[in-house]
Chain A
Amino acid sequence: MGATWRRAAHLGWLVFALCGAAAVVRASTARLPPPPQRLSPTLREQVGHAAANQEAEWRRKARQSFPGDHWSQDDDFGAAERKWAVDEAHRRGVPVTEVLEAIDAELHSRPVQPPRKATASPCKPRPFYD
Chain B
Amino acid sequence: MMPPPRRLLRFAHRAATLTGLRLALFAALALAASWRPLQQAGGMNDFRDAHLLHSYEDAGTRTVTHYGQLPLWNPWACGGQYALGSPQTRVASPTLLVSTLMGARPAEPLLLWAFLVLGMEGFFHYARRRVGSALGALGAAPLFGLAGFTALSWSIGWLNFAGFLLLPWLLWGTRRAAEGHLRGAVVVAGVFALLLGFGGTYPVPMGALFVALEAGRTLKGLRGTARRTSALWALGATALFTLGACAFRLWPLVETMRSAPRIMAGTPGNSAEELARMLLQLPARSGYSDPGNFFLAPAALALIPLAAWAWRRALYPAVLAALCVWMAAGYSATPSLFGALRLLPVFGTLRYPERFLVPAGFFLAELVALGFAVLLVRVWRVPPARTAASWWPTAAAVACIVIAVGWGFQVRAFDRLSRWSQMVPSPGPIPEEAERPFAQARGNRWAQGYFLALNRGSIACGEAWPVPMSERLRGDLPQEEYLEDAAAGTARRVEWTPNRVTVDVTATRPTVLLVNQNWHPGWKSAEGEVISHQGLLGVRLAQGTHRVVLRFLPRSGIGGAGVSALAWLGMGFVAWRLRGRLGLAAIGVASAPLAAWGVLLVTSTEPVARAVPLNPDGTPMFVTAPPADAKPLGAKFDVPVELVAAEVPPAPDAEGLIHMVLYWRVTGPVPRSVGIFVHLPGPPGSKRKNADHPVLGGTFFLAGAPRDVLLRDAFSVSTKDWDAGERKVLVGLWQAEGDGSRIGGRGADGKPLASSHVEAGTLTVPPKPQSEEKP
Residues of A at under 8 Å CB distance from B?
A: 5, 8-16, 19-20, 22-24, 26-28, 30-35, 60, 63-65, 67-72, 74-75, 78-79, 81-82, 85-86, 95-97, 100-101, 104, 107-108, 111-112, 117-130
Which residues of the partner chain B approach A95 to less than 8 Å between Cβ atoms?
425, 427-428
B685 within 8 Å of A by Cβ? no
Which residues of the partner chain A approach B343 to less than 8 Å between Cβ atoms?
none
| Known contacts A13-B23, A69-B698, then 10 further A-B pairs from the complex at CB < 8 Å, ordered by chain A residue | A9-B18, A30-B43, A95-B425, A95-B428, A100-B447, A108-B476, A108-B477, A120-B461, A122-B466, A122-B468
Q: Please provide the chain B residues from 385 to 433 with a CB less than 8 Å away from any CB of chain A in the complex.
A: 423-428
Q: Which of A23, A60, A129 contacts B351 (CB 8 A)?
A: A129
Which of A14, A20, A75, A120 is most buried by chain B, counting CB atoms within 10 A of its CB? A120
Stretch of B135-143, B244-252, B519-527, B614-622 lying at the A interface? B614-622
Contact: B659 with A32, CB < 8 Å?
Answer: no
A129's closest neighbor in chain B, by CB?
B266
Contact: A16 with B15, CB < 8 Å?
Answer: no
Which residues of the partner chain B approach A26 to less than 8 Å between Cβ atoms?
35, 38-39, 41
Distance A110 CA – B626 CA, assembled complex (angstroms): 41
Contact: A71 with B442, CB < 8 Å?
Answer: no
Contact: A100 with B28, CB < 8 Å?
Answer: no
- Chain B nearest CB, measured from A36 CB (Å): 10
Q: Which of B21, B468, B472 contacts A8 (CB 8 A)?
A: B21
Contact: B31 with A19, CB < 8 Å?
Answer: yes
Going nearest first, the 4 A-B pairs with the smallest beta carbon separation are: A68-B716, A128-B266, A12-B20, A19-B27
B451 within 8 Å of A by Cβ? yes
Contact: A120 with B459, CB < 8 Å?
Answer: yes
Which residues of the partner chain B approach A32 to less than 8 Å between Cβ atoms?
40, 42-44, 423-426
Overall SS of chain A's interface: helix
Which residues of the partner chain B approach A67 to less than 8 Å between Cβ atoms?
657-659, 716-718
Distance A60 CA – B656 CA, assembled complex (angstroms): 11
Distance A32 CA – B422 CA, assembled complex (angstroms): 12
Offer 19 A-B interface pairs, CB within 8 angstroms, sorted by A.
Answer: A9-B19, A9-B21, A12-B20, A13-B20, A19-B27, A19-B31, A20-B113, A27-B38, A27-B107, A32-B424, A75-B445, A75-B462, A78-B446, A118-B474, A119-B475, A122-B466, A125-B462, A127-B264, A127-B695
- B464-476 CB contact bits vs A (8 Å, 1 = yes)? 1111111111111
From known contacts A19-B27, A70-B617, infer whether A123 and B466 are also in contact, taking CB-CB under 8 Å: yes
Contact: B41 with A100, CB < 8 Å?
Answer: no
Distance A60 CA – B717 CA, assembled complex (angstroms): 14
- Chain B nearest CB, measured from A88 CB (Å): 12
Q: Which of A27, A60, A111 contacts B110 (CB 8 A)?
A: A27
What is the size, in residues, of chain B's interface with A at 8 Å between Cβ atoms? 96
Q: Which of A5, A104, A124, A129 contacts B441 (CB 8 A)?
A: A104
B478 within 8 Å of A by Cβ? yes
B698's closest neighbor in chain A, by CB?
A127
Distance A68 CA – B662 CA, assembled complex (angstroms): 14
Q: Please provide the chain B residues from 464 to 509 with a CB less than 8 Å away from any CB of chain A in the complex.
A: 464-478
Which of B24, B267, B423, B472 is most buried by chain A, counting CB atoms within 10 A of its CB? B24
Which residues of the partner chain A approach B717 to less than 8 Å between Cβ atoms?
67-68
Contact: B40 with A12, CB < 8 Å?
Answer: no
Which residues of the partner chain B approach A124 to less than 8 Å between Cβ atoms?
466, 614, 616, 698
B324 within 8 Å of A by Cβ? no
Distance A126 CA – B461 CA, assembled complex (angstroms): 13
- Chain B nearest CB, measured from A50 CB (Å): 16
Distance A50 CA – B655 CA, assembled complex (angstroms): 25
B511 within 8 Å of A by Cβ? no
Distance A69 CA – B657 CA, assembled complex (angstroms): 12
B453 within 8 Å of A by Cβ? yes
Which of A24, A65, A81 is most buried by chain B, counting CB atoms within 10 A of its CB? A24
Q: Which of A8, A121, A123 contacts B15 (CB 8 A)?
A: A8
A2's closest neighbor in chain B, by CB?
B14
B268 within 8 Å of A by Cβ? yes
B34 within 8 Å of A by Cβ? yes
Contact: B39 with A127, CB < 8 Å?
Answer: no
Contact: A78 with B113, CB < 8 Å?
Answer: no
A69's closest neighbor in chain B, by CB?
B616
B450 within 8 Å of A by Cβ? yes
Residues of B at under 8 Å CB distance from A?
A: 14-15, 18-24, 27-28, 30-31, 34-35, 38-44, 78-79, 102, 106-107, 109-110, 113, 262-268, 351, 423-428, 441-447, 450-451, 453-454, 456, 459-478, 535, 614-618, 655-659, 694-695, 698, 714-718, 720
Q: Which of B22, B428, B446, B655 contacts A82 (CB 8 A)?
A: B446
Q: Which of B41, B453, B473 contacts A120 (CB 8 A)?
A: B473
- Chain A nearest CB, measured from B348 CB (Å): 11
- Chain A nearest CB, measured from B668 CB (Å): 23
Contact: A23 with B267, CB < 8 Å?
Answer: no
Q: Which of B42, B441, B466, B477 contacts A30 (CB 8 A)?
A: B42
Distance A79 CA – B14 CA, assembled complex (angstroms): 56
Q: Which of B450, B466, B694 contacts A97 (CB 8 A)?
A: B450
B715's closest neighbor in chain A, by CB?
A68
Contact: B18 with A34, CB < 8 Å?
Answer: no
- Chain A nearest CB, measured from B716 CB (Å): 3
- Chain B nearest CB, measured from A44 CB (Å): 13
- Chain A nearest CB, measured from B118 CB (Å): 12
Distance A15 CA – B468 CA, assembled complex (angstroms): 49
Distance A14 CA – B446 CA, assembled complex (angstroms): 43
Contact: A13 with B473, CB < 8 Å?
Answer: no
Contact: A107 with B23, CB < 8 Å?
Answer: no
- Chain A nearest CB, measured from B525 CB (Å): 24
- Chain B nearest CB, measured from A54 CB (Å): 14
Distance A81 CA – B714 CA, assembled complex (angstroms): 28
Contact: A119 with B264, CB < 8 Å?
Answer: no
Q: Which of A14, A64, A108, A128 contacts B265 (CB 8 A)?
A: A128
Contact: A23 with B614, CB < 8 Å?
Answer: no
Which residues of the partner chain A approach B460 to less than 8 Å between Cβ atoms?
74-75, 78, 120
B40's closest neighbor in chain A, by CB?
A30
Which residues of the partner chain B approach A19 to less than 8 Å between Cβ atoms?
24, 27-28, 30-31
A74's closest neighbor in chain B, by CB?
B460
Contact: A107 with B475, CB < 8 Å?
Answer: yes
Contact: B442 with A107, CB < 8 Å?
Answer: yes
Contact: B720 with A5, CB < 8 Å?
Answer: no
- Chain A nearest CB, measured from B768 CB (Å): 14
- Chain A nearest CB, measured from B35 CB (Å): 8
Which residues of the partner chain A approach B425 to less than 8 Å between Cβ atoms?
32-35, 95
Contact: B264 with A128, CB < 8 Å?
Answer: yes
Contact: B657 with A15, CB < 8 Å?
Answer: no
A26's closest neighbor in chain B, by CB?
B38
